[in-house]
């Protein structure tokens, strides 16, 4: 996907979490900064190796992920036995 060409996933970098351009800056780091109220300008100052388009694509990636179809997973825990005294 061309519009997300700065988002990379490599099992050898950050345990395969989505990162920005193969750096050790994960998409989740950027999203947490935005969620805490930081502006793009503040994020770029904190992480000078980033570019404005990196922040934009991190947000687009999060929006894309949240729009994906999800299906509930049924979980089976089995019956718990009571301990006898």
Assess if residue 77 is contained within a domain. Answer: no
Give residue for tokens 């005294």.
85
53: containing domain? 2-67
Count of domains for the chain: 1
Whole-Å CA distances, 19 to 79, 81, 84, 85: 41, 45, 51, 53
Give pLDDT tens digits for 61-83.
999 988 876 666 565 555 555 55
| pLDDT at site 83 | 53
Give pLDDT tens digits for 39-57.
999 999 999 999 999 999 9
Assess if residue 82 is contained within a domain. Answer: no
CATH of the domain at 18: 1.10.10.10
Is a pLDDT exceeding 90 seen at residue 26?
yes
Question: pTM score, two decimals?
Answer: 0.76
Assess if residue 48 is contained within a domain. Answer: yes
| pLDDT at site 79 | 52
């Amino acid at each position: 996907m061309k519009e997300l060409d700065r988002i990379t996933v490599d099992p050898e970098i950050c345990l395969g979490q989505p990162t920005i351009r193969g750096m050790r800056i994960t998409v989740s780091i950027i999203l947490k900064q935005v969620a805490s109220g930081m502006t793009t300008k503040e994020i770029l100052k904190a992480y000078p190796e980033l570019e404005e388009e990196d922040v934009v694509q991190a947000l687009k990636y999060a929006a894309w992920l949240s729009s994906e179809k999800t299906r509930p997973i049924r979980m089976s825990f089995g019956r718990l036995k009571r301990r006898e005294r």
